[in-house]
Amino acid sequence: MLLLNNSKSIAWLFCSIFLVTASVHAEESKNEANQEVLDAWQEVSGQSGEISEENDGTIEWHGQATQDIYHVDVESSQPGNTLSGLDEGNFSTTRLQGDLRYNEVSGAVNYIQGGVSLSNDEALQSLYRSQVTNIQFGRVANDYQLAAGDVVADFSKIGSSLGLRGLYASKQKNAFTVAGYAGTVATSWESLFNRSTITGQPARNQYLRDVIGTKVSYAVDQNWSVFGTGQTFSDRESSLDDALSAFTFSESGVTGTAGVSYQDEKASFSVELGTSRVSYDAEGADDASDTAVIVDAAYAWQQVNVQAGYHHLGTRYTSLSQNVLSGVREGFVSGQWFITPNLTYGGDVRHADSRISNIFDQKSPLSSLYSLTNWLTYSVSSLPGLSVSVQDTRNWGNIKGVDAKNQNSRTELSTSYANQHYSASIALSNQKEKNRASSLSNSTTDGVQVSLGRQILTGELLMMPTVSGNAQLYGGYQQQRIANGTETTTGNQGVAMNMGSKNIGQWQVSLTNQDTSQPNGAPTLNTKSIYFDWTKVIAEVFSIKAYLSNNYINHGDSTKRVDEKTFGLQGDYQW
Amino acid sequence: MLKTGLLIIFLLMTTPVWAFGVVENVVGNASALNQEGDARSLVKGRKLESRETIMTEEGAEVLIKTNDYGLLLLKPNSKLYIASYYMGGSKSQLVVRLLKGSVYGETGRIGHQSDAKNYRLLTSNADIKFNGAQYHVALKTVSTRLNTYVKVDKGHAKLSSRNISLTIVEQQLGVATGSEAPHLLVLTPDDLFAASKLNAEQQQLSEKNAKKVAAAFSRVSKVKADDKIASNCVADSPAQKVLDAFVKAYERGDVAYIQRRLDPSMIGYGALLNSMMKDVNVQKQTRFLIQNKNVQCGPNLAVVNFSWEKRYLDLLTFRPRLQTGQAAVLTHFKAGEWKLSGITGDNPFAPTLNKPTTLVVTPRTANLGAIGTGIVPVSSQITLVSESLAGAGVIQVQARTSSGDTETISLKESQLGVFIKNDFNVMQGVLASNDGVLHVLVNGATTTITFKYSNLKTGVVASSFIRLIAF
């Protein structure tokens, strides 16, 4: 915990671990100079991108560098960014990604990998001109693993399943495996180190959360295993700007879970129980304890697959798993039945009760939801490539004590055909929304979508086509009738093509047109889009791309009209 | 430093050709056709590259050691096209297409990676992905159909045909006919794999080769180690594409697609889908903008952190709406594919559960130059969305200028849980709190007004801001 309260300490810890790892294995490695790396590389360059040294192991160095230079024009009928998130101007975006590995003869691997993105386009990077996308280094051997930087801990569904900036280690001894992590949960490295943003906004909009966790698992046999996890977290009170911290509160807590799992070729089963305690730094808020249990199972017969589960997480249950939604009690059964080789039925039925609570344990009304999905697919054996399917999903929801019943459904009937040269599909859909709490927006929507495709191949079929590509025409119509007596319709048409050959490279183009009528006689919104790109591989590792994208959105209504035009060049190098 | 610099420059300038492998042994007549159409007889030691087609005549066989330490034995009267071979972290891939005959194979490093999509064998009616496998694939005409048979000795394979996938585990035989779903066969057709079994001499060669491979590379332990290292932090990795595919499907209202890509055992699965179906019905022309993305990766888990902006037209009014937030999605590698398994922070797909209260001011900028000593209404809409405040009718938001003036602004509930005020008053001048007007001191190019909602009794908090800029 001491270390966790100071980001500098963590940085030092990273460095120390890396240096220790490096120094320990320096003796094992006879690669003492870069010259040897060069020699080895030259020895095999043009072979596999791998530097081989038969006696001492291998070094692998892979990566990718992508440079974009582009121009964006935006013409919006409204000030600000309500209609478009793009910014106008000339922009440059550079992405670098690298992965360096030293593979020892023993099978152990030492590695460092990371990436950075540099851009002056605030629509892409709104806070920083340069941003770390990921960084991790470590060592993996047969029975242990060490990692630092951007690490993830995937311990269990209701214990720890998260990403953090810190350390991770695991060790296997016979049937036992022990793993642990320590670090800080932050939205980015920049927010962790509170780097000043280009807009002057605070670098953080949530507390930095220091976390520690551990897992012990025991493989009883090839199929059965048992495990336990323990984790604790604490928000750094001083990590948030005063203006923001006045409107939120920091938390700290501890969670323990235990579970059993079984896995074989046909069946899987897992049970996990958890308990947690959380404290809030808010006046009048008491500490809270709660529990959770999840059970999941699956079985595959020759013709039938079934999956079922039950999850019950208390409203105040807190953990370091990003899978967790507190206040949920749900059960489901889902499966597929391969009735004949041509006919498959699938179904999913579930019920969920949910309730959220606040730090003062004031519970919201209980929300209840029933869901049912059925689908059927039939492949016509007399005409290979032809299939028909129908899918229907329905939800019935209610909030106890509140007149807020809601129902929605979606039914789709579709058929498709594809052979080596042509494809075609047609889909009819109907969807309904009924909600007593906002009955004015209840609606029924009917739609149809059609597409036709043509696959183009010249030269020896599927071997070395001199030209390959495909073209697709599509169109659709949708009518939405709204409970307030109005309706809106949408019609769309488009064509998309891509083509490629060894000489001319790959290119793709798409044109779309969409008309949407507004309720109450307001003007129809017309949107047209054009997209084009051309990619040419100069060498197997280097390619260039030119692209153009024009969107003319909502023409016909001067209050919603926005035009976005982008064109640019991209170079991509991989090694 | 100089050495390091030279090394980096050298590595960047070198453009290796991705060799596929080397011929380990040839029996009978076999040849390779390169992409220029030149055919060459195959002999032991001959290197093979991508886009070459290997052909064997009657009674001939070719044993190939791939550069990732795998094996391929092309049987008599067979034709195999090397479609793609690339070594490069998560992008590593081996794709071959069996055009005729049969082949026996053992996956190497590529086929041992956790993402089993990287080692593929294609036929005219099947796409087969292998993971840690020793396998046989044969093409055989039955009646007028060309069937693809796949037998797995070790590891497992995923046989896909007509958009339906079948997992084949050890000692199972699967078939894809092209006219029906791929399925398992109980008995091996008599003559199908007889020719694919290694004879004593080949077996000896195979074992010798395998030992050589193992000795040179400590294959198993190396592969195991690689499996524990994240390979999904590159921009277009399958783990990250899950989010992109989700966003696109949500934009076009394709809930069925999203449903197929969710793990049924995901906690909150039903509520998430229900919420998406609601959204599809009340939002028109939805568009997402993903910003500030960074990733944390493990072999089977990735966390994508990002901020987002969602624009759409409200169904009833057709007014443009903008929602923003900061979220993280969790993707898991399960049953052969990456699936979304959790969303934290401000959920862009707006689930009912745990949806945080949001306070949004749009537009977020206004013209400071237009603010004078008289009261000026700023036409920025303040919207607070909170399910836990549903039914409250009116709520009050605190506003504070960067000059220090504070005011209380009332927002009326326009629909259940949605509170709106379309403008607020601003003027230059002496600070005077709680007079209904936000006072700003114009002594720079910009000034900021922060809006906050806080209710410690309910624990609900939210904040947003607008910047006044001299245009």
Q: What average pLDDT does the segment B371-398 reach?
A: 79
Q: What average pLDDT does the segment B214-242 reach?
A: 61
pLDDT surpassing 80 at residue A328: yes
A276-290, B234-248, B315-329, B353-367: lowest mean pLDDT where? B353-367
pLDDT surpassing 60 at residue A28: no
Q: What average pLDDT does the segment A240-251 reach?
A: 69
Per-residue tokens: B463: 């904040």
pLDDT digits (tens, 9 = 90+) for A395-418: 999 887 766 788 999 999 999 998
pLDDT surpassing 90 at residue A117: yes
pLDDT surpassing 90 at residue A481: yes
Which strand (E) or helix (H) includes residue A139?
Answer: strand A130-140
How far is B199 from chain A, CA to nearest CA, in Å?
A: 30
Mean pLDDT, chain A, integer: 83
Rounded to the nearest 5 degrees, what angle is found at the Cα of B99, between the Cα atoms of B204 and B105?
Answer: 25
| DSSP strands (E only) in A436-486 | 443-458, 467-482
Position A16 scores a pLDDT of 40
* A324 vs B: CB within 8 A: yes
* A222 vs B: CB within 8 A: no
Q: Which amino acid is at A450?
A: V
- Interchain CB distance below 8 Å, A575 and B179: no
Residues of chain A with Cβ-Cβ distance to B236 below 8 Å are: none
Q: What is the ipTM of this complex?
A: 0.85
pLDDT surpassing 80 at residue B408: yes
pLDDT surpassing 90 at residue B412: no
pLDDT surpassing 50 at residue A477: yes
The percentage of residues in chain A with a pLDDT greater than 90, rounded to a whole number, is 54
A473-487, A505-519, B104-118: lowest mean pLDDT where? B104-118
- Interchain CB distance below 8 Å, B459 and A360: yes
Secondary structure (3-state) at B10: helix
* A451 vs B: CB within 8 A: no
Q: What average pLDDT does the segment B411-427 reach?
A: 81
A169-173, A455-459, B291-295: lowest mean pLDDT where? A455-459
Position B88 scores a pLDDT of 60
Q: Which of B267, B298, B452 sits opposite A325 (nearest CB)?
A: B267
Mean pLDDT, chain B, integer: 77
Terminal-residue alpha carbon distance, chain B: 49
Position B181 scores a pLDDT of 78
pLDDT digits (tens, 9 = 90+) for B171-217: 778 888 877 778 887 655 545 565 445 556 556 655 655 554 444 33
Q: A48: pLDDT confidence band, cut at 50, 70 and 90?
A: very low
pLDDT digits (tens, 9 = 90+) for B68-116: 778 898 988 899 999 888 766 556 788 999 998 899 898 877 876 555 5
User: Best residue in A60, A332, A541, A543 to probe B by mutation, most B CBs within 10 Å?
Assistant: A541
Position A455 scores a pLDDT of 78
Q: Are A563 and A553 in contact (CB under 8 A)?
A: yes
Residues of chain B with Cβ-Cβ distance to A124 below 8 Å are: 291
Q: Which of B225, B354, B459 sits opposite A140 (nearest CB)?
A: B225
A197-206, A208-217, B82-91, B331-340: lowest mean pLDDT where? B82-91
User: Best residue in B82, B139, B267, B378 to probe A by mutation, most A CBs within 10 Å?
Assistant: B267
Instruction: Name the residue with tokens 């039945």.
Output: A337
How far is A472 from chain B, CA to nearest CA, in Å?
A: 18
- Interchain CB distance below 8 Å, A322 and B88: no
Q: Are A140 and B229 in contact (CB under 8 A)?
A: yes
The percentage of residues in chain A with a pLDDT greater than 70, rounded to a whole number, is 84
A252-266, A344-358, B121-135, B456-470: lowest mean pLDDT where? B456-470
Q: What CA–CA distance (Å, rounded) separates A95 from A116?
A: 6
pLDDT surpassing 60 at residue B4: no
Residues of chain B with Cβ-Cβ distance to A305 below 8 Å are: none
How far is B246 from chain A, CA to nearest CA, in Å?
A: 17
Position A531 scores a pLDDT of 96
pLDDT digits (tens, 9 = 90+) for A130-144: 999 999 999 998 889
Quick one: closest CA in B to A331, which residue?
A: B265
Q: Which of B87, B285, B352 sits opposite A367 (nearest CB)?
A: B352
Quick one: closest CA in B to A77, which residue?
A: B320
Q: A357: pLDDT confidence band, cut at 50, 70 and 90?
A: low
Q: Are A416 and A424 in contact (CB under 8 A)?
A: yes
Q: A188: pLDDT confidence band, cut at 50, 70 and 90?
A: very high
Q: A564: pLDDT confidence band, cut at 50, 70 and 90?
A: very high
pLDDT digits (tens, 9 = 90+) for B262-280: 888 899 888 888 888 888 8
Quick one: closest CA in A to B182, which residue?
A: A341
What's the Cα-to-Cα distance from A238 to each of A206, A245, A264, A565, B145, rounded to whole Å?
Answer: 11, 9, 49, 44, 71
pLDDT surpassing 50 at residue A203: yes
Q: Are A446 and A470 in contact (CB under 8 A)?
A: no
A232-246, A432-446, B104-118, B315-329: lowest mean pLDDT where? B104-118
Q: A43: pLDDT confidence band, cut at 50, 70 and 90?
A: very low
Q: Cβ of A508: how many Cβ atoms within 10 Å?
A: 17
Find residue A257's DSSP bridge partners.
A229, A274
Position A358 scores a pLDDT of 62
Q: What average pLDDT does the segment B271-294 reach?
A: 88
A493 or B213, greater pLDDT: A493
pLDDT surpassing 60 at residue B249: yes
User: Best residue in A36, A42, A44, A62 to probe B by mutation, most B CBs within 10 Å?
Assistant: A62
Quick one: closest CA in A to B53, which residue?
A: A463
* A431 vs B: CB within 8 A: yes
How far is A117 from chain B, CA to nearest CA, in Å?
A: 9
Residues of chain A with Cβ-Cβ distance to B97 below 8 Å are: 462-463
- Interchain CB distance below 8 Å, A354 and B352: yes
pLDDT surpassing 50 at residue A13: no
Q: Which of B381, B351, B167 is nearest to B276 (CA)?
A: B351
